[in-house]
């Protein structure tokens, strides 16, 4: 089983739609969680961190469910410019305390007019 | 801008030749990482470093070695390149053990 799993999509949605992505992780001792956005042929860029209490940044809402070991990203009122691949990332805790940031394979989102 | 520079940005090399990719950072961060990205696999960790001369293997380390003799430079070496190592390679830094990562612009490597 992969350490971090995402639905690969693609998600094809019209402008204005609400879309949600989920990401599951296997290491219950994971310490921190993130969502990244990656445009075609570019490097991943941090979209938002995910906090235990949930957090919102404009049209984007991230949530963490530790009991079920998943994080989610909700995008409201989708824009054409939201078209990209969304990657979740998890810092699992390993012995020795050195954390590695592990990524899911990414979910592709295509927003159409 | 996290001050990360990867070089070269593009490279075509022949099977069996050695290749070294360089990641340079200007912020003195302790944690540095090399990932490769391939369609259907996302970002996979090759090697990482948590300080000068302190490195460890990631999930896809076979065929790769790394060195970190200075805080600012993390080198990835393919001792004898194979076609399966054709990929986009990203370097990343973290400011702390539990923080987010910031990425360089990537190196597109083609092994023919």
Rg of chain B taking only CA atoms, in angstroms? 13
Report the pLDDT value the prediction gives residue B2, as an integer from 0 to 100: 65
Cβ of B101: how many Cβ atoms within 10 Å?
Answer: 25
Q: Using the 8-state DSSP alphabet, how is residue A53 labeled?
A: T
A64-99 pLDDT tens trace: 999 999 999 999 999 999 999 999 999 877 655 567
Of residues A31 and A55, more confidence is placed in A55
Q: Which of A13, A10, A38, A34 is nearest to A107 (CA)?
A: A10
**Which residues in chain A have Cβ-Cβ distances shorter than 8 Å to B40?**
8, 105
| Residue in the structure block whose two tokens are 């990656």 | A38
List CB contacts (< 8 A) between B6 and chain A: none
Average pLDDT, whole number, for chain A? 91
**B 38-77 residues with CB below 8 A of A?**
40-45, 48, 50, 56, 58
- A50 is written with which tokens? 């995910």
Are A5 and A103 a contacting pair, CB within 8 Å? no
- The answer to whether A73 and A88 have CB atoms below 8 angstroms apart is yes
Cis amide prior to B8 (ω within 30 degrees): yes
């Amino acid at each position: 089983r992969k350490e971090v799993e995402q639905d690969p999509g693609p998600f094809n949605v019209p402008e204005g739609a609400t879309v949600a992505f989920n990401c599951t992780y296997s290491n219950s001792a994971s310490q921190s969680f993130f969502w990244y956005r990656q445009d075609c042929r570019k490097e991943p860029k941090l979209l938002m961190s995910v906090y235990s209490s949930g957090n919102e940044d404009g049209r984007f809402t991230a949530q963490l469910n530790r009991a079920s070991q998943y994080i989610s990203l909700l995008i409201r009122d989708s824009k054409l410019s939201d078209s990209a691949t969304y990657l979740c990332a998890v810092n699992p805790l390993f012995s020795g305390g050195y954390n590695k940031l592990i990524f899911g394979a990414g979910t592709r989102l295509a927003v159409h007019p | 801008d996290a001050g990360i520079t990867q070089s070269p940005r593009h490279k075509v090399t022949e099977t069996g030749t050695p290749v070294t990719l360089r990641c340079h950072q200007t912020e003195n961060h302790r944690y540095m990482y090399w990932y490769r990205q391939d369609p259907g696999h996302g970002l996979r960790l090759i090697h990482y470093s948590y300080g000068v001369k302190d490195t460890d293997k990631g999930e896809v380390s076979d065929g790769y070695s790394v060195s970190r003799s200075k805080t600012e430079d993390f080198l990835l070496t393919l001792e004898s390149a194979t076609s399966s190592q054709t990929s986009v390679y990203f370097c990343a830094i973290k400011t702390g053990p539990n923080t987010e990562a910031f990425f360089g612009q990537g190196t597109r490597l083609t092994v023919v």
